[in-house]
Structure 1
Amino acid sequence: MSQFEHPDRLRPEREVTVDDVRQLMGASTPHFALQLRERIRRLIRGLPADHPARVEGEREIARLESIAFHGEVRGTPEQPGMRTLASVDDAA
C-alpha cells in the first residue's frame, strides 16, 4: 500500500467527514495498519478536537496501532501446530 491519497480528499476547501475516515479504515489489516494510520493522521490534521471526523480518526489511529503491533495471532496452546509468531509475542 502506498501513501498515495485521493487528491480530492485533501483539498483545503473540502470538509473532512467521518465517512472519509471510514473509507480509509475499510482496508485495515495488521500488514497495512501503519500506512493507514498515517493517511488518517494527515486527513484529520488541523481539525478541531471535537470535530466528529477527528474523534473517529483518533479512535481508529489507536486501533490501527494496536493491530499493527499485536494483530497477528496464530492460535492458542490448545491448538497444536498454530504457534504464535515470536515477532508478535515475546513469550513465543
Structure 2
Amino acid sequence: MPRKSFAELIDSPGMPVLVDFYADWCGPCKTMAPILQQFAAQHQGKLRVIKIDVDKNPAVAQQYRVQSIPTLILFRQGQPVWRQAGAVPAAELARAVGPFVTS
C-alpha cells in the first residue's frame, strides 16, 4: 500500500483529524501520548488522531509553523481550525476539540 502524503492524511471528508506534532525526546509529548490515545479511543469513528515526529518530518512542521512541541492542530477537510502548543489536560482537550467532532 503506498504511503499517504500529509495532505492526504488531513483531508478526511466528514471526519476531523487531530495532529500531534511531537518528538521522542520531548517530556511533555510523552505526557500527552496517553491522553491522546484515550481521546482517540473515545471518539473512534468520529475523529482521527495522527502523530507527526518533527525530527523525521521537519518540512511538515515548518509548513504549519510548529515552533514548540507538543503542538496539536485540528484539521477539518484539510484546513486547520484549532491549535494548541504545549501539553493540554484531557478535560481542556475535550472542551476545545469537542465542538468539531461530529456526533
> Which structure: larger Rg?
1
Q: Give TM-score, length-normalised by structure 1.
A: 0.28
Structure 1 or 2: larger helix share? 1
Higher relative contact order (CA 8 A, sep 6+): 2
Greater share of strand: 2
Q: What is the TM-score of this pair, normalised by structure 2?
A: 0.27
